[in-house]
Structure formats: structure tokens, C-alpha cells
Structure 1
Amino acid sequence: MVVDEVTWGGSTPNLGHCLTQHRHVSFSKAPVVEDVVAASQDVFFGVEQEVPQGNVYERREFYVEETRTQRQQSPPLPATLHDCIERGVLNLDKAAKEFVRSEMAAKATPTYGSLNQLVGPDINFLWSIVNRLTAEVGRAITSKCVRIVNVTELTTAPTIQTSVSILNCTRSWNLDVEPPFVKKNLGILGARWEPRAKDPPYQQLCSFYRHLLTRITDPPEKIKEYSIRLHSRNGRDDKLKILPEPVENILQDMAENMLGYGQDERKVWLDQDLSNSTFYKSLGANEEERRANLEDLRNERAEWRPQIFKALQLALRDVRAYKYEAGKWIPNQVCF
């Protein structure tokens, strides 16, 4: 990897803002192995349990009535180094962010070459750049591993008695990312969704995600261009884009909150000071009882996380099969 004529700016520099002179950092290449994409057909399909009245093809969740604010389109996120070139100039900030998340960087062995023998006033600055890149690559690898563990631990939905409700939310959820996604208060949008009473929580999650996904892009049918992949690369359909990470994260975190797992105490596995936590004090009459109940709640949250991912993956696949005509969504098949 050769870094040429770049600048380092600001007190908290971006990855791409590095040097004002020619610098070289090399990485030896290692064989690149293709990612294995999670087979979406393994996702559990639920069957609708209630027959609605009237025209079954006109369901409220498929209508899009909100007024959408037109926003200026921005270029898609870079997928290759070539995408980071703007008017013949390499945007090193974009390139660095893409590089540290790439499979090439994850499988490469860093070598420092003659950097160990250099002397002079710039040597510490050069080492800070190398250490920064190495740390970012390591962090990206760790994030991928954590994501894989979170979504592949279980194959069936847990039997815990719970329900998906917007009333369980402990915070507001606002979507504000680059177009074609629109600025939305997901709490208000979710309040307009009504689950089927007899559906288990997993099917309710799928229905909730279909409700949101059909309303968060402008134009609405743009959502059909996206997919969710376990490794974020090498999917079956090369034409599909990866659902942006901020969108995926907020949708999963909101569903987790709607299941009743939104308290911070349930998310932290390391020891922490819970002496001032009202929620923790409500878990039992003594410290031993509270600790045991908190551990159970954390285990429940861990069991639901893979199912939330699969529900979002399934819902997005369903929406891609829908048709969008005359301002409403039409499912390709309705089963009762």
C-alpha cells in the first residue's frame, strides 16, 4: 500500500489525513478467501394465523402516506478503491475507511520494512500513522467477529414469553443517514404498526420490519436495491447494495428495545457500579437475587439478538419481492 501526498488536519485526524510528504507503508499479501454468506433460506418462515376482513391485498402496512422531504442525492458508499477517486484525486479518508474494513487488510500480514531503521524528526509521526492503521484494521476484524457471533449462535427463536411493543421503548429512535434514506422518527412510524395478537414475537418482528422498510427510503422502492449479508461481501446478487451499517444497527437496536431489552444494565457484561441503578434494585430483595436475575435478563437478550438479525434479513428479502405501484406496496404472494 502506497500513501502519497496526503494531509493531516484537525486535532482529531481522520484515517485519510496523514502526511504532507511522500510516505510508504507496505503490507505483504496473503491468500484471500471468499466470505461465506449466511443462507437466507434457512430463516424460519412463519404462516399468517388470522384472515383479515375485506380485500386481503389491501393491507394497511403497505400504504405510504407520509409526506417525504426531498433530499439531495449523494454518491453511494465506496466499495472499491476506484470509487474513492474524485475528479482524478484520491479521497484518502474514504479510501482508508474502505481499506481497514477490506478482506485484503484482514488477511494481510503487516511488515514495516525500513521503517525500523529510519531516524529523524518525522519518525514518531510515521509510527503513529502505522499504529493507527494497524489498530483500525484490528478493530474492524473484531467487529466482524462479534457480529458473526451475535447472529449465528442460535437457529430457533427463544421460547421466552415477550411481545413486540413500541410501549417498551426506553428512548427515542431517529433515522438520519445519507439518501436515499429519509429522516424519520421511527418511534412515530412504529406506533402506526399493529401486530397480530396471535403471532409469536419472531413473526411480529418480521411484520414490524416490513412496515418500517417500506417507508424509510425516497423513493420507497429504493429499498429493494439493498440486502443484508453476514460478511457484508460476496453476495449471490452482485447488483444489490449492502444495507448501510448505521441503518442496520438502529433497526436492530430498536427491535431489541421494543422486546423490552433496552436497559443499559442488560447490555454490559463487565462488572459495573449498579448501586445507583433503580432498575437493578427492582430485580430482587437482596444482592444475590438481583445478580441472578440480571444474569438471566442478559442471557435472554443474547438469545434474541440472532433472531432480530434474521427477522430483519427475512423482512428485507420479502420487501424486495414486493411491487410498488400507484403509491402502495403489493406483496407478490399472500398466504393464509
Structure 2
Amino acid sequence: MQEPIFLESVFQEKIWGGRQMADYFGYAIPSDQTGEFWAISAHPNGPSILKNGPYAGKTLAEVYSQAPELFGYPAEPVFPLLTKIIDSSDWLSVQVHPDDRYAMAHEGELGKTECWYILDAAEGAEIIYGQSAANREELSEKIAVGDWDGFLERVSVKKGDFFYVPSGTVHAIGPGIILLETQQSSDTTYRIYDFDRVDDQGQARDLHIQQSLDVVTYGPVANSKPQTLQVDALTSTLLVTNDYFTVYKWEVAGPLEMTRTAPYLLISVIDGTGQLEVAGRSYPLQKGEHFILPHTVTDWRLEGQMTLIASHTS
């Protein structure tokens, strides 16, 4: 299979969602409370389905299991990464994710380390990125009395910012933000605080205080330091690399020949238009497109004026 893999993927409606994905990407969203688009996903809670090639109609999880040669015969038993678009018209819950050890023991799935590339942000937009309590006892006390402003760290954000969010980091995305998230393939979230919201049935969402206290890490969050390299028609910025994934921003300005250096690539077009050429065939690309370059694609050509986010397992 010497061709890219294009996908039909799932939108998720959320109490805090909005309609920025329609405005920013032109997506046909299901409602004005569309919070997430699981653009490249093999997770059972939001599986992507292949649109092209000999495996069209199968889920990404099925293809990962049945055709391991497309992914370089990976060691991981499940497809390890997930690419999302998130639109927050209101605050997401203040939350934390477990690491692999805790998640496998208690939830039966991978932990969740993630990172965010801010696609756009309203003036004054903020996130919660870390917390100041020194230890479990202090954090437990502050949660018990609801001293949220006393320990949650707020950070202003703007278009083009990048944040690395390792497991154990207390965090929340604020209103007026649309971002691309690269994460481990996990759907485990422990809520610490949900701004006293209720759903349309008047019910508050569950909190997970005990689990949160079990997994929170202490001390300041160490964000990554992106590194940029320009070669010919490509400006490549290494956004982060860790034990789970490596993420790049590629700014393409003209024709560009590329060769595979990772088992496979997950690619999202976040701006511009152009085309991808593989094995003599051309595929038009536009803002909002997401695809996989499998292991069987060893070289390809990009042309146009585009900004891409590319990721692979580390």
C-alpha cells in the first residue's frame, strides 16, 4: 500500500464545546456544542475509519492489528497515538491524567501524556497549567476548601503557543481557544473541579478527587523548548520529543522532497493548501485535512504553501 491513509473521524459534543471548528476549518459539525474532533484515532471511544485503499471501511484499530507492516511491525499492542482538535467555548474541567502504570492498573488502558498547539485564541484567553501545592496534604486541603485561585496556575495564551502536558499535570483549557492536541491513545481523565456546572438535566459531572490526588505531580511544569531548522522550502520546528511521541511543525513554502525517518507519520494540515505526491499520484491537501503516511511510503513530495503538524512514536 504505497499511498497515504485518509480517515473518516468522529466529533464529540461537550458541555463546554462550541462551533469554532466550523468557522476555522469549515467542518460540518454536529451541533454548536462540538468540543472535540478525534481526527486520527484508534481508540474505541472514537474510532477513525479508513476512506481509501484496500482497507477502506475498516477502523484504524482493525488495520493496525491486521496489517502491522503498514506501521513498521510495531511493538505496541494498540495504536499508541491520538490527534484531536479541541474547541473550548467555556472552561474545561480542572483535571489531571494518570501515567501508564496507574492507568493500566486502574483503567485498563494507556496513561495520557499530551501536548497542545494553539491554533487560535481570543484576546485574554487563558489556560490552567500546573498548580502550586507542595505536596499531597496541602493539595488535599486546598481542594477541600475550594481555594482554587490559591493554587491553580493561570497562563495567558495566543495563537502559535505550544504546551507540553505530561501525565500528572493539573490543567484546564479556557474559553475562546481552538487547539490541536497530540496525545497517547487514552480517554482517562480525572476531574478535580468543574466550576460547579450542571448538565441540561441539572446533574453535576462526577469528580475524581481520590484518583487525582494519587496521580498529581508537584513542582513547576517544565514546558518544552521548540527548536527550529530551515532547509530549502521547509521550516521545521521540533515542538517536543519524549518517551511517547515526537511532534514537529512543518512550514512548507514550495516543492519539497521528503524521506521517511520514522515508522509512520500522523499529519494534520493546520493552514494553507497544497498537494502531496506519493508513487506518482497526487493528493490535494487543504486546511483541516488529517492523514497517515504508513511505513510502506518511503518518500513523498509536498508542494504549496502549508503549515503542518506531524507526529510519530518516539
TM-score by length of 1: 0.23
Relative contact order (alpha carbons < 8 A, sep ≥ 6): 1 or 2 greater?
1
Task: Please identify which structure carries the higher strand content.
Answer: 2
After TM superposition, the score normalised by the length of structure 2 is 0.24
**Structure with bigger gyration radius:** 1
